Structure 1
Amino acid sequence: MRPSGEKILQSKKHPRDDRKELGFDSHHQTKFEILSALIKIGTAIGFMPIELKTSLQFFVEETKKLFDAYGCAIFSLNESMNFDLVYAGQTDMGKQLFTSCKPNECIVIRDELPFILKNTKRKDKRCRGFEFDGKVKSYACLPISTGKKLVGILTICSSRKHAFPQDHLEMMLSVATMAASVIQRAQMFHKIEEEKRRIERANKEINKLNTDLETKIEDLEEAQNQIIQTEKLAVAGRLAAGVAHEVNNPIGIIINRIECLQSEAQEKGVSDDLIKDLGTIGKYALRISKIVEDLSIFSRTTYSEPDFTKIDINDIMIDVCFLVEQKIRKKKIRLIKKLSPESLFVMGDSGRLEQVFINIIENAIHAISGNGSIIVSTKKENKFIQTKISDSGTGILHEHLNKIYDPFFTTKEVGKGTGLGLPISHAIVKDHNASIGVNSRINKGTTFTITFPKASELNNE
C-alpha cells in the first residue's frame, strides 16, 4: 500500500528512444525521418491549391529543409507549364544555373538519369555547363518525368562537400517522383478546367442557338398566322364586296315595298295576322340589310386606303362612352371610365377607331347577363399608347380564342351576330400599325388590349 498522496514518478521517453529500442541505428533513423517528412509533404500538397507554381514553391522549400540544403530549385523544360524556375535558397544561384545549363552536356537532360556531384571543385564530364556561387560545395540533379516526357529538373545544392551520399539517391528520386506527381496533378486540373471552359462555351453557344431558333420559329409562326389571316380577310373581302353589291339593291327594294304594304294594309283594314306577318318579313329584311351593311364596311376596311391624322385617343373614348351609356341605361351594367389625365396622341382615323371600340363594348354587353361592369381605360406605356376594355361577362372558351378574328365566326345565337365585328376591328387595328390582344377566363370576364404607337414628334408639330 502506498501512503495517501504519494506521487508515482514516470520517466518520459523521446520518440527517438523508442526507435533505438526497436533497433534503429543512426542511418536507418535518418531514412525514417526523411520518409516521415516525405509523407508530410505529400499530404500537405494534396490539400494545396491546384495552382502549379504555388504548389512547387512549397515543395522546394520543404525539400530544402528536408535535406538541410543550401538551395533547392525546379527548372521547367515544358513551355506549357507557364514558369521557368521555382527556387528556395540564400542567393540567386537558381537563375544562374538555369541560364548556363547546356542540354547536350547534361546527363540529366540528355539521358534522364540522376546525377550527384560530391565536390564542385572536381569537374565531372557527365554534367557540364552548370555555374554556382562559391558557397555551393556539392549538389544533386534529378530528372522530373511525367510518363515518357521530361518536364523539369530538380536540383538540390549544399554548402558542404559530400552532402548527398549515394544511399540517399533513392530518397531523392522519391522527391523527384513526388514533384512529377505535383506537376501532373496541376496539368490534369488545368486540362479539366480547359475542358470545363470549352464545354461551358459550347453550352452557351448551344443555348444561344436554341434561343435564336425559338425566336425565329415564333417569328415564322407569327408571320405564317398573319399571312393566313391576311388571305382570309382578302378572300372574305372579295366575297363581301360581291355579295354586298349584288344584294344591296334588291334588299333595299324589298324593304321599301314592305313599308308600303304595311301602310296600305292599315288603310284598308287588312287582318291583324297579315299585318303581323308583314312586320316579321320587314324585321328579317332589315336583318339582311344590316348584314349587307357589315359586309360593305368589311370590304371597305379590307381594301380602302386609310387617311390618318393626329388624334387624342381619350377624345374618341369619351365619344364612344357617351354612345354606349345610352344603350346600357336600362341594363344593370356599370360603365367605368379610367382615362389618362394627359392627352394621348396617335396617328389614326377617329371614325374607324370608334367602330373598333363600339364593336368590342357591344360584345361585352352581350356577354354580361344581369349585373356586371365594363371598364374602359387608357394610359401611356413607354413609347406606346394602351387602351383596355374589360368586362365581367361569361368569357371566351380557350378553343375559340384563335378563331375570334375569323370572318363570320360567332358564338352568338342565330340572328344575334354576323361574325364580322371583331374581324373588322382586327383589320382596322392592323391598318393603324397597332396590336390587339385578348385575355379571357370562363365566368370571370374578358379583356381586350389595343396598343398603338405614339404619334411621332414630326406629326406632333
Structure 2
Amino acid sequence: PYVIAANILLIYSAWREDRPIIKRRKILTCVFVVPMFTFALTTNIILEALGIVGVWRYNPWIIVIQFLVFVYFGVKYGILGVRIRFEKEMRDSTMKAARSGTALFNHTIKNEIAKIDLLVNQIKEQIPPEEKSAENLGLVLNSTNHVLELSRRIQSKLDVINLKESEFSLTESIDSAINLLKPYLNMNPDITIIKQYEFDAIVFGDTEQLQETYLNIIKNASEAMNGQGVILIKVYKTRKKIHIDFIDEGKGIGKDELTRVLDPFYSTKHNQTNFGLGLTYCYNVLKKHGGDILVKSKVEKGTTFTLTLPSKRIIEFRVNEQSNSKLVGENSLWTK
C-alpha cells in the first residue's frame, strides 16, 4: 500500500502542477521512480504472494535500464539536479578563468594606455593649438579615454559582487525595476508586462543588485521580441525556495547556445556593442544570494528565465494586494 500510494501521489502531483519548469521536473521524476518501484513491488511481493517465485532475479536488469534512463534524461534535460550541477561547475571555472584573464589584460591595457596618454599630452603642450597636429592629438586622447573606459566597464561586470543587504519587499523590488523601465516602455508601446504574484515576501538581500538583474532580463526579453509582445512575470514558491519567472514571446534561443548564455563574454546578439556580460552579472548576483538562474527556451516560441532564492533569505510571507496586474506600454496603465 505504501509503494502504490507513493506512486499515485507522485503522478497526481505532476498532473496538477501548472508551472511548466516544475511540471517537467516532476514528470521526469515519475518516469525515473515509478517504473522501478512498481517492478520491485511486483517481483518482490505480489508475484511471491501468488506463488510465482524467482522473478526478483531480473531486478538487476531493471536497475540497469533505469540507470540508462537516468543518464539519458540527465544529459538531455537534467534530472534530480545532476545536469544543473555539472553546468554550474563548468560555468564557475569559466568565470574564474575569465576574471583572472581579464584582470591581467586590464592591468596591461591600463598601464600602456596611461603611458600613451601621458606622452601625447606632453607632445600636445608643445604644439600650437591652431595646428592640425594638435587636433589629431586630441583625437588620439579621445581614443585612449575610450579604451580606458571600456576596460573599466568590463572589469566592473566581472569584479566580485559585495552585497549591501537589507530587508525589502520582493514584489515592490520588482515593481521598482519595472518603473525604472517606464521611459523605455513608453518608447515601445507594443510591449505589455503582465504580473502574476502568488504572494509577497520580506526578503533579506541586496535590493539594488536584484533590481539591476530584473532590468537586464526584462530589457533582453523586450529586445528578443523586437519591441512587440507580452512579458509575463510570475512570483511563486516551493517548499524551500521562491521563484521569479520572466517569460517572453521572443525568438528564443537554440539548444547549442542555451547552455552558454550565462557564460562571460558570450552573447546571442552578435553585435559589437554587446560584451556578453549582462547575464553573467545576473548569475553572479543570484549566486551571491545563494540562489540560481535557470533558462528554458524554444526557438520562435520564447524564453523563460527563472530566478531562484533560497528559503533562508525569506524573513516572512505576506498577502500581496496586487496579485495580478498589467502594465500596457505607453499608457502606463495598471489594472488589477
TM-score (norm: length of structure 1): 0.46
2:69 aligned with 1:207: no
Match of 1:426 in 2: 283
Match of 1:228 in 2: 90
Letter in 2 for 1:408: F
The partner residue of 2:298 within 422, 441, 454 is 441
Mapping of 1:41-120 within 5 angstroms? none
Q: CA deviation at 1:387?
A: 0.8
Q: CA deviation at 1:311?
A: 3.3
SS at match of 2:54: helix
The partner residue of 1:300 within 147, 160, 181 is 160
Seen in structure 2, the aligned counterparts of structure 1 residues 281 and 368 have a Cα distance that, compared at 3 Å, is farther
Seen in structure 2, the aligned counterparts of structure 1 residues 323 and 343 have a Cα distance that, compared at 3 Å, is same
Structure 1 runs not aligned, ≥5 long: 1-189, 262-266
Letter in 2 for 1:289: E
The partner residue of 1:375 within 205, 228, 232 is 232
Match of 2:101 in 1: 239
2:198 aligned with 1:198: no
Percent of residue pairs identical: 22
Structure 2 runs not aligned, ≥5 long: 1-46, 318-336
Match of 1:394 in 2: 251
SS at match of 1:345: strand
SS at match of 2:200: coil
SS at match of 1:300: coil
Q: CA deviation at 1:308?
A: 4.1
Q: CA deviation at 1:283?
A: 8.4
Seen in structure 2, the aligned counterparts of structure 1 residues 232 and 434 have a Cα distance that, compared at 3 Å, is same
Using CA pairs under 8 Å that are at least 6 residues apart, name the structure with larger relative contact order, 1 or 2: 2
Contact 1:314–1:339, Cα closer than 8 Å, also in 2: no
TM-score (norm: length of structure 2): 0.61
Contact 2:252–2:298, Cα closer than 8 Å, also in 1: yes
Contact 1:247–1:292, Cα closer than 8 Å, also in 2: no
Q: CA RMSD in A?
A: 4.2
Contact 1:238–1:299, Cα closer than 8 Å, also in 2: no
Contact 1:307–1:348, Cα closer than 8 Å, also in 2: yes
Distance in 2 of aligned mates of 1:191 and 1:449: 47
Contact 2:205–2:313, Cα closer than 8 Å, also in 1: no
Q: CA deviation at 1:413?
A: 3.4
Contact 2:251–2:301, Cα closer than 8 Å, also in 1: yes
Match of 1:145 in 2: none
2:178 aligned with 1:321: yes
Q: CA deviation at 1:360?
A: 1.4
Letter in 2 for 1:418: F
Q: CA deviation at 1:209?
A: 6.0
Q: CA deviation at 1:438?
A: 1.6
Q: CA deviation at 1:285?
A: 5.4
Q: CA deviation at 1:337?
A: 3.8
Distance in 2 of aligned mates of 1:358 and 1:396: 19
Letter in 2 for 1:452: L
Q: CA deviation at 1:331?
A: 2.2
2:270 aligned with 1:408: no
Distance in 1 of aligned mates of 2:82 and 2:199: 38
Q: CA deviation at 1:427?
A: 2.3
SS at match of 1:329: helix
Seen in structure 2, the aligned counterparts of structure 1 residues 287 and 221 have a Cα distance that, compared at 3 Å, is same
Seen in structure 2, the aligned counterparts of structure 1 residues 202 and 288 have a Cα distance that, compared at 3 Å, is farther
SS at match of 1:328: helix
Q: CA deviation at 1:322?
A: 1.2
Letter in 1 for 2:54: R
SS at match of 2:197: coil
SS at match of 1:374: strand
